[in-house]
Chain A
Amino acid sequence: QSVLTQAPSASGTPGERVTISCSGSRFNIGSNYVYWYQQLPGTAPKLLIYSNNQRPSGVSDRFSGSKSGTSASLAISGLQSEDEADYYCAAWDDSLSGPKGWMFGGGTKLTVL
């Protein structure tokens, strides 16, 4: 069971806006940056959002990130078929006991209907 919790699946139709959530604790999301990675089928992950809401150069502005307290969200607007992928949130966890290090959410598989 992942320290960061994501719904296993999400879906939407082309053109729709979809939101993927990531829930954590004060030891990870609550006190550190959140990152989002996109993994297209059969490929390596790709950085999509860094520092909660920043997009790397080359990432479409249809992707946006936000954070509030111990939760974070990735929003995808104008959904396209090529957005069908697995999406992972990540954050550093600095618990005094228990997990410590980089934590990933379990991933959300996005299906474009």
Chain B
Amino acid sequence: EVQLLQSGAEVKKPGESLKISCKGSGYSFTSYWIVWVRQMPGKGLEWMGSIYLDDSDTRYSPSLQGQVTISGEKSLSTAYLQWSSLKASDTAMYYCARSITMIGDPFEYWGRGTLVTVSS
């Protein structure tokens, strides 16, 4: 069974750093893209970026490039989303999902999400 297990909820202060994770199981992790999707409170879905774990090819949304870093460790079947300096506006639910290709395929499996709260 394909599963994407995301790390637990986080409460951080503005300016702090954070790294959240998404661990895949039940399939060949390095043969798929992992995408990160943000959902701010009461808002819609927003693609943040994608990573292909076999060669770490990473693509970012133009609107978010430079604000987050997407990485992965294929030996751990895990992808990461990290911030070096959080802002209150980073408060959101963050989902990871799996896709066969970067462009031509859907986000077919999703994790349950990691809630990130940034507040002083």
CB neighbours (8 Å) of A37 from chain B are 45, 107
B binding-site residues for A, Cβ under 8 Å = 35, 37, 44-47, 50, 59-63, 95, 97, 103-108, 110-113
Complexed CA–CA distance, A30 and B37 (Å): 23
Q: Which residue of A lies closest to B109 (CB)?
A: A47
Could you say which of A2, A56, A100, A102 contacts B35, with CB atoms under 8 Å apart? A102
Could you say which of B44, B95, B108 contacts A44, with CB atoms under 8 Å apart? B95
Q: Which residue of A lies closest to B102 (CB)?
A: A92
Binary interface encoding of chain A residues 38-59 relative to chain B, with 1 for a CB under 8 A from any of its CBs, else 0: 0100011111001100001000
Interface residues of A in 78-111 (CB under 8 A from B): 86, 88, 90, 92, 99-107
Q: Is the interface of A mostly helix, strand, loop or mixed?
A: strand
Interface size class of A (residues with CB under 8 A): 20 to 34
**What are 25 inter-chain pairs, A to B, with CB distance below 8 A?**
A32-B103, A32-B104, A33-B104, A37-B45, A37-B107, A39-B45, A43-B112, A44-B110, A44-B111, A44-B113, A45-B107, A45-B110, A47-B106, A50-B105, A50-B106, A86-B44, A92-B103, A92-B104, A99-B62, A101-B59, A102-B35, A102-B47, A104-B44, A104-B47, A107-B44
A binding-site residues for B, Cβ under 8 Å = 2, 32-33, 35, 37, 39, 43-47, 50-51, 56, 86, 88, 90, 92, 99-107
Complexed CA–CA distance, A92 and B101 (Å): 12
Shortest CB-to-CB span from A32 to chain B, Å, is 7
Complexed CA–CA distance, A51 and B106 (Å): 8
Complexed CA–CA distance, A102 and B47 (Å): 6
Known: A44-B95, A44-B112. A104 touches B103 (CB 8 A): no
Known: A44-B95, A44-B113, A99-B62. A104 touches B45 (CB 8 A): yes
- Top 7 A-B pairs, shortest CB-CB distance: A102-B47, A50-B106, A107-B44, A44-B110, A104-B45, A35-B106, A92-B103
